[in-house]
Structures are given as structure tokens and as C-alpha cells.
Amino acid sequence: MERSFVRPTPEGLKALSHPGRLRMLGLLRSDGPATATTLAVRLGLNSGATSYHLRQLEKHGFVVEDTERGNARDRWWRAAHQSTHTDSADMTTPEEHDTYDAYLQSVVMFHDERMQRSLEERRLLPAAWRDAGDLSDWSLRLTAQRAQELVLAVHELIDGFGEDADDDPGAAPYVLNLNAFVRPGVIGLEEEET
């Protein structure tokens, strides 16, 4: 089954650059529909601020009202897509590049927070799940083209695992973050030396 995704405009990325909004969208994607009040409690925010952020996410197409739930008092929200895809090539102005960088900063913070929580809970997991995690890194020497090929190959591999275990009672939501980047300080230094 192919996952649905959204490719936001620069204005949409600006809206999603707010860490609280990114966390809200993540919760709606992973845990399903929720009210502003429920999200406020889970995120430690007040429900007025949460409602405002949800309306901003709705304005840019990240969330939609779940009309099958709730009543006139309680609005339920759900994620409109399963993932967000971005590409720096879509950014054309310096302002758009700044927005893209701000969005990526929020993503890094979100991943860092979630990884930290997973480490804090690690000892509470059954042994099989403790052993199913990994914090490895590799340092390879690649061209930009080979680096892109590697990232795409990893994406294809992950997508191949899909949702096969939805009905298996032993299955659990599993997160895999891919962090792929040029080692900081290398390319700029090499260019200055030549």
C-alpha cells in the first residue's frame, strides 16, 4: 500500500516550521484523530493555542476536520497525509531557503526529542524490543550523485516493509529516522584550501 504524502509550498513549510505544529501533526499521524483539548494535554499547551495551531495546519492542508467524530462542541482533527516530502530544489528565493532551513531545524528538534524519550523508556521494553533498536552510523566517501542514490535505495527498502504486520498482535509502531548529510566543516574547508 502506497503512503499518501504532501509536498508543501514555501508558505506551508513556514507554517510547519513551528515545533508545536510539527509535533501535533506527528501525533495525528501516529495516534490518529484527536481534539484540540486532547492534543493540548499531550503537548503541555493550552487548548486555545492548540486550536490556533490546528487552524494554521488546516489552512495549509496538513490536517482536516474529522467530521465522523465529535459534535458541535468538540472538533476532531486528523492528518490529511501520512508523510511530508520536501525538496530544496523547490525553493527559489533566499527567503524560501531560510524557510526550508527553519523547517529542517524543527524536524531535527522533533527527531531529537523523540529519540531521547525512546532512550529514557528503553529499559522498560521487553528484551526483544530492546534488541530491535539501533543507533549506528557510517562515514562513507561518496559523490553527491552516489549519496542521493544511497538515500533513495534506503527509502525503497523501508517502503518495502510497509504495513504487513497490521493484524499481528506482536507488532508495534516502529520509528526509523534516516539522517544523511555531508560531514560538517569538510566541504567548505576543502574549497577554501584550493
Structural domain including 177 reads 138-194
Pair 107, 21 in one domain? yes
Q: What are the angstrom distances between the C-alpha of 111 and each of 64, 106, 108, 177, 193?
A: 24, 9, 5, 8, 35
Of 115, 135, 155, the residue that ends a domain is 135
Q: What is the pLDDT of residues 42-70, one digit of tens each?
A: 999 998 999 999 999 999 999 999 988 87
The torsion angles phi and psi of 76, rounded to 5 degrees, stand at -100, 145
Mean pLDDT of the chain: 89
Total domains in the chain come to 2
Pair 146, 169 in one domain? yes
Sign of CA dihedral 57, 60, 100, 156: positive
Q: What is the pLDDT of residues 3-34, one digit of tens each?
A: 788 899 899 999 999 999 999 999 999 999 99
Neighbours of 84 (CB within 10 A): 20
Pair 125, 142 in one domain? no
Cα–Cα dist 117/109, whole Å: 12
Confidence of residue 194 (pLDDT cuts 50, 70, 90): very low
Of 135, 157, 184, the residue that ends a domain is 135
Residue 78 has pLDDT above 80, yes or no: yes
Pair 70, 130 in one domain? yes
pTM over 0.75: yes
Q: What is the pLDDT of residues 126-185, one digit of tens each?
A: 999 999 999 999 999 999 999 999 999 998 998 888 666 677 888 888 899 988 989 888
Pair 9, 95 in one domain? yes
